[in-house]
Homo-oligomer: A and B are copies of this chain.
Amino acid sequence: MQNFRFENETKIIFGKDTELEVATEVSKYGQKILLHYGGGSIKKTGLYDKVIKSLNDNDISYVELSGVKPNPRLSLVKEGIDICRKEDIDFILAVGGGSVIDSAKAIAAGVKYLGDVWDFFDGKAEVGEAIPIGTILTIPATGSETGDTTILTNEEGWYKRSMSHKNIRPKFAILNPELTYSLPNYQTAAGGVDIMSHVFERYFTNTLDVDITDRLCEGTLKCMIKNLPIALEETNNYAARSEIMWAGTIAHNGLLGTGRVEDWGSHMIAHEISAMYDITHGATLSIIFPAWMNYVYQDNIDRFVQYAIRVWGVEMNFQDPEKTVLEGIERTKEFFKKAGMPTSLSEVDISRDSIEEMAEKCVLSGPVGNFRKLFKDDVVKILEMAF
């Protein structure tokens, strides 16, 4: 186990009707807020009305900024920063999924910064003071609700980049599993893949002596393997929805990566696909992860054997452990397929011609990943294997 630091002060308010507590929480931090959300879905479900009523009943004034898209954009963030400055906003409430939260984080970091907010994303500046944010989560997926990271797409050149700072971690996250009943199955499944991928990025490590986090990772994956198919079958199953929602937070609140080198190579590759083709994040991960696993497993057979046996219940093939590994990878891929997710680039109409460009952009700041360091050639090969 390696030395580490861990802290995560986001307050979780979990369960039925918890969105009704939003004004009580908001009022601890601000009196004039930016209400940030995506499109019409929170209006259709009635969540928007509940939030507005709660704010009005508690004399919290608000300015709205909607229109956050999946793979949130820099231009809207800049608009949000302008509004916050003009209106003297002191708190941002993000109502939605990871894209809305990430957009809110970027706005929060940019309001008091005099330069271009993109500076934080390409490493030219570090976040200073940020205005506080809170969230009502509607899509369990990105883990952004308690994370200190935001991922943004710059339309000029279509770069998708992330940045992290503790000052942009949400103060509270309201998680009501009932709010996820209305998600289309594709979005539930994409979120599920994202959650599992956050565990994969930590689980596949060469750091030794990481028993406790291995077990926590395996447990989180097993919880997803059981509950994702249930939620897809019975969309209003509260038990399954709550397991997925809480697993989504646990998968990415930092705990599962403590004491170990994390990987994140697959996420970097997946981000390039999303940036160029605007494909749902989870769908790029269900495509890339099986290919990545097949490309790298020989570097550390033991770890992949453990994965196959402990996570998927594969029986150990003592004569040929590699077969155990391949069975584990195959079950991963099959699980994604059964959940309705693509597992090859050809399914999502990506042209082989773009492989070079995606690989090039992916390693722009150097090789990606840690389980195996991936250079441009490696990324090309993984993308080819993913067809």
Contact = CB atoms under 8 A, between A and B. Distances in A.
Interface of A: 1-16, 18, 208-209, 211-212, 214-216, 218-220, 222-223, 226-227, 238-239, 242-243, 246-247, 250, 255, 258-259
Contacts of A250: 212, 216, 255
Q: This chain: how many copies in the complex?
A: 2
A87 to B, nearest CB: 30
A14 B219 contact: no
Nearest 6 pairs of A and B residues by beta carbon: A3-B15, A215-B219, A9-B9, A209-B239, A7-B11, A6-B12
Contacts of A243: 1, 209, 211-212
Nearest to A248: B212
Contacts of A219: 212, 214-216, 218-219
A227 B214 CA distance: 14
A13 B5 contact: yes
Contacts of A7: 9-12
Nearest to A208: B239
Contacts of A212: 219-220, 223, 243, 246-247, 250
Contact of A3 (B2, B16, B208, B258): B16
Identify the interface centre among A5, A212, A215: most chain B CB within 10 Å of its CB: A212
Given A6-B14, A219-B216, A223-B211, A1 B246 contact: yes
Nearest to A4: B14
A5 B1 contact: no
B14 A258 contact: yes
A7 B169 CA distance: 13
A14 B9 contact: no
A239 B209 CA distance: 6
Nearest to A171: B7
Given A3-B18, A5-B11, A212-B219, 14 more contacts: A4-B15, A5-B13, A7-B9, A8-B9, A9-B9, A12-B258, A15-B259, A209-B238, A209-B243, A211-B227, A212-B220, A212-B223, A215-B222, A255-B255
Contacts of A259: 14-15, 242, 246
Contact of A1 (B208, B214, B242): B242
B242 A209 contact: yes
A250 to B, nearest CB: 7
26 contacts: A1-B242, A1-B243, A2-B15, A3-B15, A3-B18, A4-B12, A4-B15, A5-B11, A5-B12, A6-B12, A7-B10, A7-B11, A8-B9, A12-B258, A14-B258, A15-B259, A208-B239, A209-B238, A209-B239, A211-B222, A215-B223, A216-B216, A216-B219, A216-B250, A246-B258, A250-B255
A7 B238 CA distance: 23
Nearest to A221: B215
Contacts of A239: 1, 208-209
Nearest to A240: B209
A16 B219 CA distance: 28
A223 B6 CA distance: 20
A217 to B, nearest CB: 9
A35 B207 CA distance: 36
Contacts of A2: 15
A167 to B, nearest CB: 14
A243 B216 CA distance: 12
Contacts of A246: 1, 212, 258-259
